Amino acid sequence: MNASTTPLRNAPPERIRFKLDGRSVKLDTRVHAARGDLADLALAGVLFSAHYARAVELTCVAAGAPVLASDTPKAQAVSELLRGESFHALDVTADWAWGFCGHDGYVGYVRREALDVREAVNSRIVTGTAPLFSAPDIKSPIADYWPRGAQFTAEAEGDFFACAEGYVHQRHAAAIDAPESDWVAVAERYLGQPYVWGGRGHRGVDCSGLVQVALGQCGIKAPRDTDLQREAIGSPIAPDAPLRRGDFIFFPGHVGIMADSNNILHANAHWMSVVIEPLADVVGRLAADHAEPISARRRIGT
């Protein structure tokens, strides 16, 4: 489908008329914001919609906020925003915002109370959980607990970073422009965290969420879901090449990171936790249901 745009006569600048030719294409709505009544204006050239909206960038101000499949508290979580991550809203009501996550484009609904105006973050949490103190004093009341990977705007104040909500100790945070370099070491810091579907580290994490946040903290962007990661992360490993630390192993609906040549680090529903175990054990569990338990092996670098 091709589209051309012409401003409406005497219309406000934001109103645009589209001339559409041909058929709309079928897009993956996990990462393209389009629903029955509304679509992202960025899709106007490829997708027909009754209405389009221009995204407004907001910031997650909750320690963690689930991204849901629909606008009801009992809807399935499809992902999660951490404090300081952006959300591009296309439709906002009193209770909900619909749009997509800034770090990976994943689409869903977020509670409106978890979002606020755009914030230019400069710091991130580097420990498993960081207490947010109400004053620059370790004996002061704890206002909240922020998870690893949470981002915020801060200024140094003694032993603390001062931010709008309180104070984070400098041992618990680092500058956002100083990424990690070893995604295995990052992922290992999540060992023991419970497996939570849709989680990215606020009280729980799932398999693809662990891969995404581990790479993200090393400055490497990755998609949200395992099938998307399988196509985007690194390059295929030759069938006869031995595995090594940092390789990514994909299974039907699952992914993990090699901790060394024999053991895999992954968040999984078998142990309901982030664990390191022999790759052979995982393959053995899946062999009864899958003729080829390993669907892909990928490596970043050579």
Dump pLDDT digits (tens) for 178-210. 999 999 999 999 999 999 999 999 999 999 999
Provide the 8-state DSSP code for 172: G
Question: What confidence category does residue 39 fall into, taking pLDDT thresholds of 50, 70 and 90?
Answer: very high
pTM above 0.75? yes
CATH number of 164's domain? 2.30.30
Q: Is there a single domain that holds both residue 134 and residue 217?
A: no
User: Domain residues for 196?
Assistant: 183-299
CA 223, CA 240: separation in Å to the nearest integer?
27
pLDDT tens string 231-250: 999 999 998 999 999 999 99
* Predicted pLDDT at 9: 34
Beta strand pairing call for 151-152 and 254-258: unpaired
Same domain, 138 and 89: no
Give backbone dihedrals phi and psi of 227, rounded to 5 degrees, phi first.
Answer: -65, -35
Residue 132 sits in the same domain as residue 98: no
- Per-residue pLDDT averaged across 145-150, rounded? 98
Question: Of 17, 16, 18, 14, which is closest to residue 2 (Cα–Cα)?
Answer: 18
For residue 54, give the amino acid letter.
R
Residue 6 has pLDDT above 80, yes or no: no
Q: According to the model, what pLDDT value does residue 237 have?
A: 98
| Distance (Å, whole) CA 152 – CA 177 | 12
Please report whether residue 164 resides in a domain: yes
Judgement on whether residues 85 and 189 belong to the same structural domain of the protein: no
| 280 within a domain of the structure (yes/no) | yes
Closest-CA residue to 79 (of 104, 97, 55): 104
Instruction: Please give the tally of structural domains in the chain.
Output: 3
Quick check: 251 and 295 in contact, CB under 8 A?
A: yes
Q: Is residue 8 part of a domain?
A: no
Query: Is there a contact between 248 and 238 (Cβ–Cβ < 8 Å)?
Result: no
Decide which of 78, 97, 116 is a domain's last residue: 116
Residue 26 lies in a domain: no
Nearest to 247 by CA among 188, 281, 235: 235
